[in-house]
Structure 1
Amino acid sequence: MEFNKGQYYEGDGATTMVAGNVGLPLTDQGFVNLSLEYRTADPTSRSVQRDDAAALINNGNTFVEDPAQVWGSPEIKGDLKFFANAGLELDQNSEAYLFGNYARREVEGGFYFRNPHNRGGVNDGGTNDSGEQLLLVADLTPDLSGNCPTDIAVGSNVLENPVYINQVANNPDCFAFNELFPGGFTPKFGGIVTDASLVVGTRGELDNELNYDVSGAYGTNEIDYAISNTINPSLGPDTPTSFNPGRYIQTEASFNIDINKYIDIGGNEPLFLAGGIEYRYEAFEAIAGDPKSYEVGPLAAQGFGIGSNGFPGLAARFQGKNSRNSAALYIDSEYFFSDDFMVGAAIRYEDFSDFGDTTKGKLSARYQLNETVAIRGAIATGFKAPTIGQSNVRNVTTAFSATGLVDRATLPPSDPISIQKGATPLQPEESTSYSVGWVGEFENGLFVTIDYFNIEVEDRISTTSGITLTQADINALLAQGVTDASSFSEVSFFTNDFATSTQGIDVVANYSMEMLGGDTVFSFAGNWTDTEVDDVKTFDVNGEQVQNISPTRIRMIEDNLPEYRFSLTGNHTNGDWRVLTRLNYFSDIFEDHIDAGLPIEEVGAEYTVDFEVGYHINESFIMTLGARNAFDNLPDENVLYDTEVAGSKYPTTSPIGINGGFYYLKGVYTF
């Protein structure tokens, strides 16, 4: 049984976790092992007040939250994990096995702030001839006879404008969303993720020393979205403020038969030969949200937005289920040409119902140079078929751009809007990789591995950068009968967009020694990784060759992860005491702040230190006090786009995170 309680040095993000594990007999020939974990965590905030929100407050709008927009970890309302593993001996040469899991996690986090003066489709009524921002006002009368004002300049605080007060706020025939949300609003977005799987099989050895493993597996992953503190603007004052925008369900099932056997071929050692077949079924299902999350309300014709603002619901006409199946055959072999030299070879053929077939392989070798040092290497080809979800996902979300908030739709590549902007059917990613390594195991207890790897990927699948829909695009699509073309400012879709080369070096070392009357284990893990975008595809859009990935997005792929990182850990035990210290390092990165084309050229390199002290109170009970990022190191503050954009105090993709130090107390009791 384990109990863990902690929080960040800032006093937020309080986390509670309880877990347990038990092993039980399953008749005299079997066992069952059960594990359960439950966790909750409060949200964190590392925000500064946005300039626009601060200006509203300074001009007398007392309804604006401070901060108006929160950057930090989301609230984990509940995180349940359950795992079971069971085995049963059938006879001396065979057994049945079963393992599976169930997990359910409910999360809620903040979204972008909606300014009550100029949020498009909610408050934005355009500008007058003088360039002043106007308020969007709805006429609620059935015959539009309310004579509602359309020329209210919001000024510094529209709530104090006499025309707004007299002709809108106190007029039942006219309506503006400032009446419901006078300080604007910030949607809360999240949902419930449920994951479950079950594997059942039997394995054993036949009389001819042939080993077999026959199994079936089923798994499902579901996300049920939720958004609150928001509106469907087209419904006017009758709008709900909480919505369920829809669900996505990924289902996978497989059946495997694997066999292996050592075969005497008259050489130094027997040949190890393995083979197998696999049948796989995959499905992706989209289920519509509640009707009011996508309903076209009566105010849509007056310029008000459609659907739950921030994440409109999936309409019933777009829900459905797509599936595919595949069959695979593989052969794997290993052979020792001498006691020191081993070579392996494998080949896999797979046929997909939607992408055709492919054959890939791998060669590997290991040579023991002497009792201390060995070298190893491998070369392989690989592929990754597009998921059913990548080919069929459809949603709309609010994204930040260089011009402010936009409603960006992610659409299937087969959608007419995507095709209009250059989408083509997805194809599998193809890769070629090789690695070489050195292994050293020395008499003094030092163990070291050094590996170089190189991976080239063609036709990498990614979502495009946001592509603006021009009025000409919208007009052409409407003429084709694509009625929702006017609902989006930008579109994005999955595509085989570019090729990359990634190379790097992994170094791992362990050393054990007696020290200070106890035993100490030192561990080092270091990595250098460099990724380059080698080629970017062009697509034909209305006769023009265009690229669907921006230069800033390319820099994010190449430079948003640290090129160098390492950790050095010392773990000392002495009697009932255990002390652990870990030093972590991350080199600098580049950040496209909030994916808006706002570059932070260098998010500086950082060190963090972790501490942990444990004490065995008795043979059954261990107490541990620890701290992650014990010196409360934080990234350099974001001074380029902090208050004037979205209120993020720190670069949001910093490798050390933005929350700072976290301390915890853990107790483990063994019955």
Structure 2
Amino acid sequence: MTKFLNHFGMMFLLFIGTSGTLIAQEVSGVVSDESGALPGVSVIVKGTTTGTTTDFDGKYSISADSNAVLVFSYVGYETQEKAVSGNKMNVTMQSGVALDAIVLTGNRAKPRTILDSPVPIDNIGLDEMRKTGQPTIDKMLTYKVPSFNSSTQAVSDATAHFDPADLRGLGPSRTLVLVNGKRKNQSALVYINDTPGKGEVGVDLKSIPAAAIERIEVLRDGASAQYGSDAIAGVINMVLKKNVEYTTVNVKSGMTTEGDGFNFGVDLNTGLSGDNGAYLNFTAGYYEQEKTNRPGAPGTDALIGVYAGDQTWGDWLANNPELGMNVGQPELKKLDLFFNAGVPFKNDSGEFYTFGGVTSRQGTSFALYRAPYWVGDPYNLLHEAGSDYNGFQPTFETDVVDNNLTAGVKWKLFNFDVDFSGTYGRNRIDYDVNNTLNIDLGANSPIEFAVGGYTFSNSLANLDLSRSLGQVNIAFGAEIKKENFSARAGDPASYYNPTGNGNAQSFPGLQPANAVRADRHNYGVYGDLEWEPTDALLIGGAIRYEDFSDFGDNVSWKVSGRYSLGDKGALRASYSTGFRAPSLHQIYLSNVQTLVSGGSISNQGTFNNVDPIIREDLGVPQLTAETSKNISAGITYKVKPNLSVSADFYNVKVDDRVLFTGEIGFDGDDGSTNPVESVLIANSITSLKFFVNAVSTSTSGVDLVVNYTNIDLGKGLLNATLAANFNETTIEGAIDTPAIFAANGYEIFNRKEQARITSARPKSKVLLGLDYDLNKWDFIVNNTYFGEVTWQHGSNPAFDQTFAGKVLTDLIVGYEFNEKVSGNISVNNLFNVYPDELDAKGDVVTDLGGRFKYAWEVNQFGFNGTIINASLAFKF
């Protein structure tokens, strides 16, 4: 209808123009607010029915005579009237409150506001993210979105450098991440250590610099029918900056009140724009952080069986009560380069666009300290001859490169908006283990080892078409994707092990048998339809067919609805099915890890899903897709123009979740060797693990958001936000244990592993943010409540421990010196709150013999304590 009216109005004006009364002309431009281009704005020639709306890039084009007045309006923004003054008219509008923010995620054909979207979406601008005082995107989202969680992991090999992140407690694998609406590649890492998200694969959120982002849209609803695999929990879309008024430089630095964890960062964002609407935005950033250390102080070593008062090592224990440990955040250095560019075609008939970037990151974390009574150094490789030998601290070092590039074109075809693009993304990790040795190599052992690495990449082609037909919006398209995963063996010295006691201490190198190059391809087609029979009612539906070369096909669908309560709010609901393809990593990963348990050192083997030992000898089935059912219902409501409330209930059922089993070892009886033990003996390992579809879960929760903005208080304005998430995940039915394991009494997913799904993340999180703007001052207080988490012992409930919920308070004070220079000081965790300490009731492995003061297998918010940061921002 809008298109018809637009053309009708054009014909009418042309007719008048030919009569000699008025001259019609084509007027175009870009409508934006303070954060960038603004889609969905209504543009009408005053006094007529001629109108249009701005597209996804905020652009509009309308026919009007030289004396006409254009009216620009949208819910939550001040209506503006502008007299026509030439062929080009750019307009800046004042932002509305949170419920009126424009979002693109989840809507193929028409931009919508949070108010009239049929599904819950958060829209978070860069300024809001920076007001959390956090250094990286994953941490910013943790302190801004209640249902999002990410925390630093300690002494967990490469996992310490990626920090598993998840949405709605559904694990890292089930959140789809987009950049400018295009799929972001996953990382090359599988989280195989005993941390939240164990056995899963996520996107490396540290690879996207905050300075390059205009805003982040978080869709908290299943969206597989629209976007494909991984979108079971929701979608995070990172929208990059386009046109910027200034070049901006931010410099920041800080440290903990314990005197460690020093950090320093600097970033630059700048842009160029042309009169024809062309743009180039460029971001460069550097960030580094030093380690923190919060170990336990056992003063004895029950893990290895060396106790206080020991005749040989008593003095060493007394002088080293922390057993040499480093437990905390890793060292990190990171360099980012990103760009976002576009060039319109002549007559605004389309646009060529491209964006992407590269992140290079080096990190150092620490393994268990090798005390002198644990591992000797008879050849003086790690200490000087004649000096006292005090053991050594192996380091685990990562070199991560993440790069992505998208290029595409947008144009009109038979009144359809067409978007055709290609995307390539890659994440590569190389591992080094240093300050260590291989006992079996004797005096010839190196002390630095390249122990291998992993690479994951994907290549995609996308074709999307959409059109608004008055009451009906339609969209359809197709995607072709190819994925590659490779594992590289380490240096031979890193896995040399003829006696069974060798390998590089702390992390045996990947062996040639672990090396792999695997790929797969898939294609998908989708259709999306929205119908608005009245101004109040919206009904939507989507369907997607996906076919994978390695396990087959899937059909997902979604229906959604919204009933508008006028300018007060809306009722909304959706039901969808979804799926997640098992990652190539989960299918092909294999390795050997060193474990410390019960006073002995052992090697644990991970067998991949295509290994004949797993598939044929032990009867583990081929991995296949997880499937899901997602229902949500909620309300958004404006109590008054500056006070809005939203509440959404959801339930997500996931069938056949891909899990990483617990340790499966010898059964402990003196009878005959069972098939599992035969595999252990043949491969010189003491336990094994593998990936299998074996668990179904149900997650229920509620999201609440209350925004109260522009409250007059004294001489300033106060903005207040209260946001909360409450969730519960349960395992439904029995665990599907392969027959050979069940017949021999093995439990493949014990109580401890189950707790990683059900209670390793907080079941509740509440955010209360207060932002007081007083002339040039800005005072921010953020309070974040992290609910309790529970660690469960593998077999004995008496050893379980629940860690109480805690409130962390952040204080940020900002000052604007002038239009070009501003600064702030932030105190994160103002009251120096730490998690509950591990108690002594667990077995010796619970805290690794007292080495850990705080829980390491469940983690609410880390344990760095108070961090003080200062920053300066310059515009020119």
TM-score range, shorter chain: 0.7 to 0.9
C-alpha displacement of 1:113: 2.9
Matched, 1:315 2:511: yes
C-alpha separation in 2, matches of 1:662 and 1:12: 9
Cα distance, 1:257 vs. partner? 0.8
The one-letter code matched in structure 1 to 2:542 is A
Cα distance change of structure 1 residues 498 and 662 upon mapping to structure 2, 3 Å threshold: same
Partner of 2:367: 111
Decide whether aligned partners of structure 1 residues 425 and 557 sit closer, same or farther in structure 2, where only a CA change above 3 A counts. Answer: same
TM alignment of 1:114-513, pairs within 5 A? 114-117=370-373, 119=374, 182-206=389-413, 208-263=414-469, 269-296=470-497, 300-301=498-499, 304-401=500-597, 405-419=601-615, 420=617, 423-469=620-666, 485-486=683-684, 488-512=685-709, 513=711
User: 1:478 Cα shift?
Assistant: 10
Cα distance 1:484–1:231, how it changes in 2: closer, same or farther (>3 A)?
farther
Match of 1:101? 357
Structure that is richer in strand per residue: 1
Q: Secondary structure at the match of 2:446?
A: coil
Amino acid corresponding to residue 592 of structure 2 in structure 1? V
The amino acid that maps onto 1:578 is D
SS of the equivalent of 1:306 reads coil
Matched pairs, number: 607
Judging changes above 3 Å, is the alpha-carbon distance between structure 1 residues 316 and 178 closer, same or farther for their aligned structure 2 residues? Answer: farther
Question: Residue in 1 aligned with 2:823?
Answer: 623
The aligned counterpart of 1:648 is: 852
What is the alpha-carbon distance in structure 2 between the residues aligned to residue 114 and residue 417 of structure 1?
A: 34
Q: Distance in 1 between matches of 2:597 and 2:677?
A: 25
| TM-score between both structures, scaled by the size of structure 1 | 0.84
Give the corresponding residue for 1:266. none
Relative to 1, partners in 2 of residues 1:113 and 1:404: Cα closer, same or farther, differing over 3 Å?
farther
Cα distance in 2 between the residues matched to 1:669 and 1:648 = 42
Rounded Cα–Cα distance in structure 2 between residues aligned with 1:358 and 1:114: 50
Q: Within 5 Å, which residues of 2 pair with 1:65-76?
A: 67-76=322-331
What is the aligned partner in structure 2 of residue 518 from structure 1?
Answer: 716
Q: Give the Cα–Cα distance (whole angstroms) in 2 for the partners of residues 477 and 600 of structure 1.
A: 29
One-letter amino acid matched to 1:203: K
Q: Secondary structure at the match of 2:585?
A: helix
- Residue of structure 2 equivalent to 1:130: none
Q: Which amino acid aligns with 1:305?
A: N
- Residue 668 of structure 1: aligned partner: 873
Residue 859 of structure 2 corresponds to residue 659 of structure 1: no
Q: Secondary structure at the match of 1:541?
A: helix
Displacement, 1:514? 1.1
Asked if 1 retains the 8 angstrom alpha-carbon contact of 2:821 and 2:873, the reply is yes
Match status 1:530 vs 2:728: yes
CA contact (8 A) 1:49 1:643 kept: no
- C-alpha change, 1:69 and 1:639, in structure 2 (3 Å) is farther
Q: Deviations over 1:580-629 (max 9, x none)?
A: 00111122211258999994421111111110000011110111011111
User: Residues 147-168 of structure 1, C-alpha deviation per residue, up to 9 Å, x if partnerless?
Assistant: xxxxxxxxxxxx9xxxxxxxx8
1:16 pairs with 2:264: yes
SS at match of 1:46: coil
Residues of 1 paired with 2:324 and 2:400: CA distance? 24
2: CA distance between counterparts of 1:58 and 1:93? Answer: 79
SS at match of 2:640: coil
Q: Which one of 252, 262, 266 corresponds to residue 4 of structure 1? A: 252
Q: TM-score, normalised by structure 2?
A: 0.65
Q: Could you say if the C-alpha distance between residues 62 and 462 of structure 1 is closer, same or farther in structure 2, counting changes exceeding 3 Å?
A: closer
Query: How far apart are the structure 2 equivalents of 1:469 and 1:252?
Result: 40
| Aligned partner of 2:337 among 55, 63, 82 | 82
**Deviation of residue 179 (structure 1)?**
9.9
Contact 1:400–1:595 (Cα < 8 Å) also in 2: no
Helix, strand or coil at the partner of 1:537 = coil
Residue identity in the other structure for 1:667: L
Distance 1:204 1:596, change over 3 A: farther
Q: Does 1:606 align with 2:811?
A: no
| Aligned counterparts of 1:216 and 1:239: Cα–Cα separation in 2 | 47
Change (3 A) 1:597 1:404: farther
Identify unmatched segments of 5+ residues in structure 1.
124-158, 160-167, 171-176, 264-268
Amino acid aligned to 2:364:
E
1:226 alignment partner AA: D
Q: 1:218 corresponds to which letter in structure 2?
A: Y
Structure 2 partner of 1:539: 738
Q: Kindly tell me: are residues 415 and 114 of structure 1, through their superposed partners in 2, closer, same or farther at Cα, counting changes over 3 Å? A: farther
Sequence identity (%): 28
Q: How does 1:35-54 map to 2 (within 5 A)?
A: 35-50=283-298, 51-52=300-301
Q: Distance in 1 between matches of 2:314 and 2:405?
A: 59
Once the 2 structures are TM-superposed, how far is the Cα of residue 523 of structure 1 from its aligned partner?
0.6
- CA–CA distance in structure 1, aligned partners of residues 611 and 340 of structure 2: 44
Deviation of 1:192 (Å): 1.0
Measure how far apart 1:74 and its partner are: 3.5
Q: Which has the higher contact order (CA 8 A, sep 6+)?
A: 2
Q: C-alpha deviations, 1:295-315, integer Å up to 9, x for none?
A: 34xxx24xx523212211112
Query: What displacement does 1:38 show?
Result: 0.8
Q: 1:400 to 1:447 in 2, by over 3 A?
A: farther
- For residues 263-308 of structure 1, the C-alpha deviation after alignment (integer angstroms, 9 at most, x for no partner) is 3xxxxx4311100011000010111111211234xxx24xx52321
3-state SS in 2 of match to 1:645: coil
Check 1:238–1:596 CA distance in 2 against 1; reply closer, same or farther (3 A cut). farther
Deviation, 1:413, is 2.2
Displacement of 1:29 in angstroms is 4.7
Q: Distance in 2 between matches of 1:595 and 1:231?
A: 35
Cα distance in 1 between the residues matched to 2:372 and 2:720: 57
Structure-1 separation of matches of 2:784 and 2:826: 16
Separation of aligned partners in 2, 1:479 and 1:491: 12
Give the partner amino acid of 2:433.
Answer: I
CA distance in 2, matches of 1:96, 1:190: 40
In the alignment, the residues of structure 2 paired with residue 318 and residue 180 of structure 1 have an alpha-carbon distance, to the nearest angstrom, of 40
Distance 1:478 1:369 in 2: 65
**Are the counterparts in 2 of residues 202 and 213 from structure 1 also a CA contact under 8 Å?**
yes
| Residues 169 and 179 in structure 1, CA contact (< 8 A), matched pair in contact too | no
Q: CA deviation at 1:423?
A: 2.9
SS of alignment partner, residue 615 of structure 1: strand
Q: CA deviation at 1:556?
A: 3.1
